[in-house]
Amino acid sequence: MSRIDMELFIDSHCHLFNISDIPILQTVIDKEKFVLEQVHHPLKALLLPAVFFKRKFIKKQQYKFISFFESEIETNARNIDKSLNITLSDENHQISAGKKIITPLIMDFDRNGFVANGNPEKIKSQVVKLVETIKREDIVSTIILPFIAVDPRRFVYEDWSKEDSKLLGEGQISTNITNYINDFSVKTAINDISAIETGDICGIKLYPSLGWDLFPSDENILKSYAIVLKKLVEFDVPITVHCQKASFELGIDSDKGNEFTDPFKWNKLLANTALDLKNIRLNLAHFGGEEGVKKIADFRYKNGESEEKCPYGPRKKGWTYEIIKLIKNYDNTYADLAAFDWCDKHAVASLLWILFWDGKQDEDGEFYQDNSPNHKIINKLLWGTDIPMVLDAYRDYHDYFSSFFRAIDKPHQLEGNDYEVPAANKRYKVSEIINQLACNNPKRFHFKEN
């Protein structure tokens, strides 16, 4: 195994919030089928939001996941840093990185979580707590650059706590979002990594399934949200939006959550020339997840005779295909692979076929888009873990990364039903994939560096 030398290693998707940041009451109301009597100790109720993130009940392997939510941010940051260092220096990976960066994404639970139940907003205290903790110099060797949440409802209504509040005018909306960006000292138009230090807020997180439709049918609301987005484009900040089915919803059901999050809506937004959003620097998080990716490959048994399932794809429709169109058609769009299950052979094989079908640099490939820059998918994917969300299935950062490394390097060895993978000489090498996902692509997304 040769050594992989990287200027930077960037994880573009993780979280550092804990239980005090997550609304408990609304989470419980949403999951009304849950029988509270099953919880024997009153303090266990504090763990419910963590558990509900996964829509599952507590199993032993989830202890680490739940424990993350009751731990201090400092503890979690230290653990990620330690595990990341072990990960890179592991003799199986042999990665040397000049700088290590993680970008914990902050979520704005206020509108449908806290405010809806008569509590004051908590976004400020959430950010202050995170930034103050990580800015203490001695904490970690990894550079930590948070992304601040933006809930567009916050800026477009006279009183955002009320469902039927009046929409504000364009000037006031622009002022509101500008003030928010300034109040949190968000670094805008960054193009020099060396000027950045831990605690600098370097991007925006959007999470539609917390209760807002990113392409609402009401023209006026659509235009108001677009003013917020346009302002973010002007500020030239990277934006990560949750973009897979199965989200954490608040105050809405999961069908609505999926509808609000659908990448089809981003295609509509960016294609709308009047809104002028085509230059948005956007990471469509999760790439549609394993289920979206599997739909493209469309695996079936060959006439029932072979033991191995073969891909009948590419099937050019569905959630992941909408994301593929976005990343091929626009210069500044990306998709991270956070929370991807690298032990799922079906999903891994599908992803490898997508990269294969997309073709080499000098070929158009199967996903060719008319009248488009046709960016290669391999140049638009980002490394991300979604820690702590994967800690119910993976022990730590090292375990998650090792599973990714093994899956890309030796996909044949993955357990499970046999899914055909492209031949080794038709696949990208693991070193190429790591360099693209964790260095070259995020350098462009976060810092506009080529």
Binding site for Zn ion (CB under 5 A): 386
Minimum CB distance to Zn ion, residue 207 (Å): 9
Minimum distance, C-beta of residue 427 to Zn ion, in the bound complex (Å) = 27
Which of 289, 365 has the CB closer to Zn ion? 289
Question: Strands 309-311, 299-301: parallel, antiparallel or unpaired by DSSP?
Answer: antiparallel
Strands 147-149 and 95-104: unpaired
In the bound state with Zn ion, the residue whose beta carbon lies nearer, of 21 and 386, is: 386
Torsion angle defined by CA atoms of residues 71, 103, 411 and 56, in that order, rounded to the nearest 10 degrees: 40
Residue 196 phi, psi dihedral angles, 5° rounding: -105, 140
Length of the chain measured in residues: 450
Distance (Å, whole) CA 450 – CA 445: 10
When the beta carbons of 81 and 386 are compared against Zn ion, the nearer one is: 386
Closest distance of CB 386 from Zn ion, Å? 4
The b-or-e profile of 138-151 (16+ CB within 10 A means b, else e) is ebbebbbbbbbbbb
Our CB check for Zn ion shows the closer of 16 and 228 to be 16
Nearest to 373 by CA among 256, 231, 249, 278: 278
**Closest-approach residue to Zn ion (CB):** 386
User: Of 105 and 270, which has the nearer Cβ to Zn ion?
Assistant: 105
Minimum distance from residue 205 beta carbon to Zn ion (Å): 8
Helices and strands per DSSP (H, E), number in the chain: 16, 11
Q: Give CA separation, 51 vs 47, 160, 179, 312, in Å.
A: 6, 29, 35, 37
CB of 313 to Zn ion, least distance (A): 27
Least gap, CB of 285 to Zn ion (angstroms): 6
Looking at the Cβ atoms of 88 and 206, the one nearer to Zn ion is 206
Smallest gap, in angstroms, from Cβ of residue 399 to Zn ion? 18
Q: Measuring CA to CA, which residue among 9, 162, 20 is closest to residue 81?
A: 9
Residue 344 vs 386, nearer CB to Zn ion? 386
State the DSSP code for 167.
B
Closest contact distance (angstroms) between CB of 347 and Zn ion is 18
Residue 99 β-bridge partners:
8
The DSSP bridge pattern shows strands 333-336 and 381-382 to be parallel
Q: How far is the CB of 416 from Zn ion (least distance, A)?
A: 25
User: CB of residue 57 vs Zn ion: minimum separation in angstroms?
Assistant: 21
**Which tokens is 318 given?**
């569905």
Between 322 and 386, name the residue whose CB sits nearer to Zn ion: 386
Residue with Cβ nearer Zn ion (157 or 207): 207
Question: What's the CA gap between 85 and 67, in Å, rounded?
Answer: 21
Strand blocks (E) in 53-126: 95-104
Of the candidates 368, 398, 392, 381, which has an alpha carbon nearest to the alpha carbon of residue 434? 381
Residues 229, 271: Cα–Cα separation, whole Å: 14
Residues 6+ away with beta carbon under 8 Å from 188: 181, 235, 236, 237
Question: Which residue, 150 or 414, is less far from Zn ion as judged by CB?
Answer: 150
The CA distance from 241 to 151, in Å, is 11
Q: What is the dihedral angle through the alpha carbons of 231, 232, 233, 234, rounded to the nearest 10 degrees?
A: 50
